[in-house]
């Protein structure tokens, strides 16, 4: 049975989408059928894989309409990699969802046979804990939390982990934290090292061994519509995301 991961952190710009796209690409390159679901109306994951912001069916149709996630999946380019795109409609979902009874479980109910078809399904969440993120966390088996190494908001992180506990209690008892991922790590700065050390101290066992370095190749890959592993396969960013995919695969 496949595993569904939410890539989530309510803080913006911490590397959620970059991680979702590149880890998905690495898992696919290793031969696993992998699905990336873009759940952010910014459509950054969709665009990073060369898509447009107006594709149908989209994740909005899964959340609000009757389309299943499995049905909405389309080939994303690289072998074994599939995408459910986001489009601009998704901005309305945050308003529409609360009007629907039991809306927190919409996405879970709409997954369809994704766990049979895909070894990995990655849900790229928006930067808020609104209804769409709650749906993702309710549908997921595990949550991967990117944390930017340039700024440690421990308070924000603790708050986020508390929210996960609430979701586990009320909506999704099997939700596990897959791990905290240090992103945009610039080894030349003391701050990056401090953030990494503090994270490992505060959350022992929870922080992935792999650290994602700050890298121009990683930042520029989306403008080519490619994962960094295709844009610049030998870069340090590519190596890091391959190592992270290895850590995920090793956990089964
Ligand atoms: N390892 C990295 N090296 C350099 N730049 C990076 C790296 N990771 C992410 N970035 C850049 O940082 C910015 C934010 O990254 P990203 O979009 O992945 O974050 P996000 O958490 O998905 O943001 P949002 O909360 O808006 O969805 C982007 O411009 C991205 O290209
Ligand atoms: Mg994003």
Instruction: Give the pLDDT confidence score for residue 155 in this predicted structure.
Output: 82
Q: Which atom of ligand 1 is nearest to the CA of 219?
A: 31
pLDDT digits (tens, 9 = 90+) for 87-98: 999 999 999 999
Atom of ligand 1 nearest to the CA of 9: 21
The reply to whether ligand 1 has any atom less than 6 angstroms from the CB of 13 is yes
**pLDDT at residue 120 above 80?**
yes
The burial class, CB within 10 Å (0-12 / 13-18 / 19+), for 163 is middle
Q: Is the CB of 133 under 6 A from ligand 1?
A: no
Whether 185 lines ligand 1, by a CB cut-off of 6 Å, is no
pLDDT, tens digit (0-9, with 9 covering 90-100), for 188-241:
999 999 999 999 999 999 999 999 999 999 999 999 999 999 999 999 999 999
Q: How far is the CA of 19 from the centre of ligand 1 (A)?
A: 8
Pocket flag, ligand 1, residue 227 (CB < 6 Å) = no
Q: pLDDT-derived band of residue 252, with 50, 70 and 90 as boundaries?
A: low
| Residue in 21, 74, 56 with CA at minimum distance from that of residue 223 | 21
> Best of 13, 91, 130, 211 to mutate for ligand 1, by most ligand atoms within 8 A of CB?
13
Ligand 1 atom closest to residue 40's alpha carbon, by position in its atom list? 27
* pLDDT of 3 higher than 70: yes
pTM of the model: 0.97
For residues 105-121, give the mean pLDDT: 96
User: Over 80: is that where the pLDDT of 170 sits?
Assistant: yes
Q: Which residues contact 35 (CB under 8 A, 6 or more apart)?
A: 24, 69, 73, 82, 83, 84, 114, 117, 118, 120, 121, 122
| pLDDT at position 251 | 79
129 in Cβ contact with 104 (< 8 Å) = no
What's the rounded Cα separation, in Å, for the pair 85 and 41?
10
Walk me through the domains of the chain, giving residue ranges and CATH numbers.
3-251 (3.40.50.300)
- For the Cβ of 12 lying below 6 angstroms from any atom of ligand 1, the answer is yes
Record the tokens describing residue 170, joined without a space: 């009320």
Mean pLDDT, the chain, integer? 96
Question: What average pLDDT does the segment 112-129 reach?
Answer: 96
Query: What is the model's pLDDT at position 191?
Result: 92
DSSP tag of 10:
S
Share of the chain above pLDDT 70, in %: 100
pLDDT band for position 99 (50/70/90)?
A: very high
């Amino acid at each position: 049975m496949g595993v569904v991961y939410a890539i989530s952190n309510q803080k913006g710009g911490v590397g959620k989408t970059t991680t979702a796209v590149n880890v998905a690409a690495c898992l696919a390159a290793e031969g696993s059928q992998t699905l990336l679901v873009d759940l952010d109306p910014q459509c950054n994951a969709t665009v990073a894989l060369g898509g447009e912001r107006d594709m149908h069916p989209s994740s909005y149709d899964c959340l609000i309409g009757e389309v299943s996630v499995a049905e909405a999946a389309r080939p994303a380019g690289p072998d074994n990699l599939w995408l459910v795109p986001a489009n601009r409609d998704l901005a309305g979902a945050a308003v529409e969802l609360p009007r629907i009874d039991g809306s927190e479980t919409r996405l879970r109910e709409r997954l369809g046979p994704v766990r049979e078809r895909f070894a990995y399904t990655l849900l790229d969440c928006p930067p808020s804990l609104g209804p769409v993120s709650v749906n993702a966390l309710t549908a997921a088996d595990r949550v991967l939390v990117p944390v930017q190494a340039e700024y440690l908001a421990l308070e924000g992180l603790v708050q986020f982990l508390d929210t996960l506990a609430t979701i586990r209690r009320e909506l999704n008892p099997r939700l596990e934290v897959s791990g905290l991922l240090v992103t945009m790590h610039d080894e030349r700065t003391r701050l990056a090292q401090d953030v990494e050390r503090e994270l490992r101290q505060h959350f022992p066992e929870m922080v992935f061994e792999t650290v994602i370095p700050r890298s121009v190749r990683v930042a520029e890959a989306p403008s080519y519509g490619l994962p960094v592993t295709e844009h610049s396969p030998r870069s340090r960013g590519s190596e890091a995301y391959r190592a992270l995919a290895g850590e995920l695969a090793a956990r089964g």
